[in-house]
Amino acid sequence: MNRFLLITFGCMALLACNNSQKSGPTTGEPGSIFFTEFDTPFGTPPFDRIEFADYRPAFLAGMKEQTAEIEAIANNTEAPTFENTIVALDNSGRLLSRVSRVFFGLKSAETNDSIQALAEELSPLLSEHNDNIYLNEKLFNRIKTIHDDTTGLNLTTEQYRLMDEYYKSFVRSGIMLQETGKERLREINKQLSALTLKFGNNLLKETNNYQLVIDNEADLAGLPEGVIAAAANAAKAAGEEGKWVFGLQKPSWLPFLQYSQKRELREKLYKAMYMRGDNDNENDNKKIINDIVNLRIEKAQLLGYDTHADFVLEENMAKTPENVYKLLNEVWAYALAQAKKEAAELQKLIDAEGGNFKLASWDWWYYAEKLRQQKYALNEEELKPYFKMENVREGVFTVANKLYGLNFKKLDNIPVYHPEVEVYEVTDADGSHLAIFYTDYFPRPGKNAGAWMSSFRGQQVLDGKNIRPLVYNVGNFTRPTETTPSLLTLDEVETVFHEFGHALHGMLSNVTYAGLSGTSVPRDFVELPSQIMEHWAFQPEVLKLYARHYQTGEVIP
């Protein structure tokens, strides 16, 4: 449970540095807006006042402040106790956490060249700061004293878990190594941090740099009207008005592969998508991947593990690579047979149409859609009108209300980092405040692919007050067009429910300590709440609650 590393490198909070949003004044010197808790409704980030110039000084001040806090704990002359060591450690770094949760969200949802450059500058500093904490022998000795003899401490189950998690984090961070090993580990961590950033930056550039521009209407054969309209909007935004543009965001490339009759264009778009980072250009990731793999192996072996997988899985439910392979092989036997059966069916369809070619990966979606219509008379385009994005979100809220008694109220007084973001207050059945929930659902050039949940602030009890979380969901779902609202595919509907399951995990957190809050659980267990939630999406009784035609209001048949 390396909480500081997770916060500084893994936070996926969101913000914007769009100057048009800076409607209010900043508070004094650069960075000072982060120096205290935000004086805003529910303590939400004041996106209308945060400037890009605030981040660097806030990070530096945050690291300096936490360093002083750590030194005070490590050099405390009193005997180590749970309160003066474990709790003090858990509560340290609040300024650094505050700025990290905001800044690193930008790296995920609204990045630009300045943000990426600053992240690269901060990367070695944050890596060193994290190592300075987890390789601090005085601090570890205090933790070890508590860990090795809990007699008479009367720790609760939660307190024991927190103490044990910190102890394991120090051990897994290399505190037991000799000095030469620690120095090498520090260098490995710095390199891994920089390489991981570079990998993500390259991937985003590859995603944004590619466009399939169509200027011949005949090349749109087979595409639904909504897909064509979205491509026309994309072309207009790209300065190609009168043409059609398809890119590597999922709502663009997937329906093209699913419906386009132009096999050569399907192949072109497919290869552009799946060859990202493998084009022998300035964004190539092959060497970066090789370096990351080798550094991970070296780090794992330095820490006494055979492989990186052994190191990672030790803290997950699976525990060992052997257990993972056992499960995968059990699934593989059935999955491979089914995949071969489906491939044979698709090949028959190709042959029946006179196609003189063997099924390729860029054909799969197209012929699977045809087969689905033939066998089941199921056309996903006919289903999408029943899944207007706003209705799907309302369906998610309704399920949460019926299952857990939660209520959602839209707020218009909370600063947001982008006009498309919406904010809700979440209250319990008795009306008490539980959380703030942000939604950000549409693709943008500065946003990573995929969908995720995280928080601008985690839940914990501090000074006797239950600090409630600020949780958000981010996605890349089908945009509205000039003539239709956002109409989601079945996959997108399932993803909305899935990510909301993660959001519930954060919203309903009710622990004392930040280090155990929300989704601070094994990485394979973290998918359980989301899997449970997504299974409600297409239950008949649930569909009746939200799946209504956006024009007629008719419930899905």
Q: Report how many helices (DSSP H) and strands (DSSP E) the chain contains, helices first.
A: 20, 9
**Helix, strand, coil % (nearest 5) of the chain?**
55, 10, 35
d(CA 51, CA 61): 16
Alpha helices in 275-407 (DSSP H): 286-302, 308-313, 321-352, 364-376, 380-383, 389-404
d(CA 225, CA 234): 14
Q: In a 3-state reduction of DSSP, which class is residue 19?
A: helix
Work out the end-to-end distance of the chain between its first and last CA atoms, rounded to an integer number of angstroms.
48
Contact, 389 vs 17, CB < 8 A? no
Output the CA torsion 482→483→486→490 (10° steps): -130
Which bin fits 241, alpha (ψ -120 to 50), beta or left (φ > 0)?
beta
- In terms of residues, how long is the chain? 557
CA 209 to centroid of chain Cα atoms: 22
d(CA 58, CA 330): 50
Contact, 34 vs 95, CB < 8 A? yes
Contact, 202 vs 284, CB < 8 A? yes
Question: 68 CB contacts (<8 Å, ≥6 apart)?
Answer: none
Contact, 210 vs 272, CB < 8 A? yes
Contact, 254 vs 365, CB < 8 A? yes
Planar angle of CA 255, 259, 264, nearest 5 degrees: 100
d(CA 549, CA 487): 10
- Of 95, 93, 98, residue with least CA distance to 73: 93
Question: 232 CB contacts (<8 Å, ≥6 apart)?
Answer: 243, 244
The position carrying tokens 């399907």 is 266
Contact, 416 vs 438, CB < 8 A? yes
Planar angle of CA 374, 376, 381, nearest 5 degrees: 85
Planar angle of CA 371, 373, 375, nearest 5 degrees: 65
Return the bridge partners of 461, or none: 466
Strands (E), 161-275: 212-214, 244-246
Enzyme catalytic residues: 499
